[in-house]
Amino acid sequence: MDTEILQRARASFLGLALGDALGATTEFMTPTEIKAQYRVHNKIRGGGWLGVKPGQVTDDTEMSLAIAQAIDTADGWTLQGIAENFLAWMRGKPIDMGSTVRKGIVNFRRTGSLEMPTNEWDAGNGALMRMTPVAIFTLGDEQLFKRCTLEQAHLTHNHPLSDVACLCVGAMVQAALQGADRFTLHAMARELVAGYPNFQFTNYQGLASGYVVDTVQTVFHYFFTTASFEECLTGIVNQGGDADTTGAIAGMLAGAFYGFKSLPLHWLRKLDRKINNQIESLVPRLLDLSPSNQGKERNHTMEAGKIDLDEAAIRLESTPLNVLMHIKRKLLRGEEIDGRWFVEVTSLENFLTERGNSPKENVCQSSCSHKCPSCG
């Protein structure tokens, strides 16, 4: 598996979650209200109309994970599996759900149908917000990409403007994963505008609603007028409106483009750890199953499923030195590669699960004299 692509794919999925968590605070606010309350909203602080906890994500990330988990379980594309996961997600009473999404899932529950009829009111951004797993899983096969994009979209949204937005942004994410530059991505955005002038984004009017045209204009405006992941995401969530979703879509694109190292640590540290872990274990699987990996040896998940000490420390809310000590004490599995230490993600997850997911209390801190539960 190409390590560079893997890093960008992780950044794309994590970027989506970060944009969602960040934007949930300012969803449905106006830029003036945001300014009055926060001056600049640039921290993951929770709140908003949904009253989310700091780092908590919403439907945008949860539905993307539902797609990724269905692919993981089936070892490949499964529209039926995705629909079933959506239904299970709805039954779990999610914190938020769009009305078009609800209609689509209820339709599947009632009729078993995997496609909504076309509807002129279904031009929301709900299919676009879950494009990351599709872009990663179909990398390397354009026909598969198009088929999977439209199939997943039509489970809930069947509208030509939603379709072309999903295809364009999805293709841009794929190009960014493969290292495309800004000019290439801009040309792809202009191509969408050439075919569908509604999407014109050069004279941005500040509309950031859930209408897919407004959403795409907002995402393109902030992506192309900023120079880092943090600047792009901060700009877009301070625009308010459907801020968690514009944040999520900008996050998937900017994450893929700027790469993992561009994700601000102070945001990553705040992200819901369970969500973070799910993303980290699913992204290598999606890539492993993708056509881009065809002909190459499968089951690279273990090789790909390693993170360095700094990242492991973030996830354990500990220090790199402590993580290394945990490896030495065989509490975590890890190995040294070219002078750098890496931790296996699965062993990290097991460790967190065994410790009841409360790392702060259980992971040995530097002040510990190694009589704590984890050090024995």
Looking at beta carbons only, is 98 or 334 nearer to Mg ion? 98
Looking at beta carbons only, is 214 or 288 nearer to Mg ion? 214
Site stretch for Mg ion (CB under 5 A), options 142-150, 237-245, 300-308, 333-341: 237-245
**Cβ-Cβ contacts under 8 Å for 209 (sequence gap 6 or more):** 215, 241, 242
Q: Is 211 helix (H, G, I), strand (E, B) or coil?
A: strand
User: Residue 155: phi, psi to the nearest 5?
Assistant: -60, -30
Looking at beta carbons only, is 60 or 230 nearer to Mg ion? 60
**Cβ-Cβ contacts under 8 Å for 367 (sequence gap 6 or more):** none
Pattern 11-50, Mg ion, x by CB under 5 A: ----------------------------------------
- For residue 205, count other CB atoms closer than 10 A to its CB: 11
Exactly one of 25, 245, 322, 374 binds Mg ion (CB under 5 A); that residue is 245
**Cβ-Cβ contacts under 8 Å for 230 (sequence gap 6 or more):** 42, 262, 264, 267
Paired residues of 335 in beta bridges: 342
Looking at beta carbons only, is 96 or 231 nearer to Mg ion? 96
62 binds Mg ion (CB under 5 A): no
Closest distance of CB 15 from Mg ion, Å = 15
Exactly one of 230, 242, 272, 311 binds Mg ion (CB under 5 A); that residue is 242
- Name the one residue in this structure whose structure tokens are 């995705």: 82
Exactly one of 11, 13, 22, 60 binds Mg ion (CB under 5 A); that residue is 60
272 binds Mg ion (CB under 5 A): no
Q: Which of 86, 27, 85, 33 is nearest to 51 (CA)?
A: 27
- For residue 226, count other CB atoms closer than 10 A to its CB: 17
Residue closest to Mg ion when measured from CB atoms:
58
Cβ-contact 280, 344 below 8 angstroms: no
Closest distance of CB 239 from Mg ion, Å = 13
Cβ-contact 201, 168 below 8 angstroms: no
244 binds Mg ion (CB under 5 A): yes
Contact set for Mg ion, span 96-155 (CB under 5 A): 96
59 binds Mg ion (CB under 5 A): yes
- Name the one residue in this structure whose structure tokens are 């699987």: 285
Site stretch for Mg ion (CB under 5 A), options 92-100, 115-123, 344-352, 357-365: 92-100
214 binds Mg ion (CB under 5 A): no
Enumerate binding residues for Mg ion (CB under 5 A): 58-60, 96, 242, 244-245
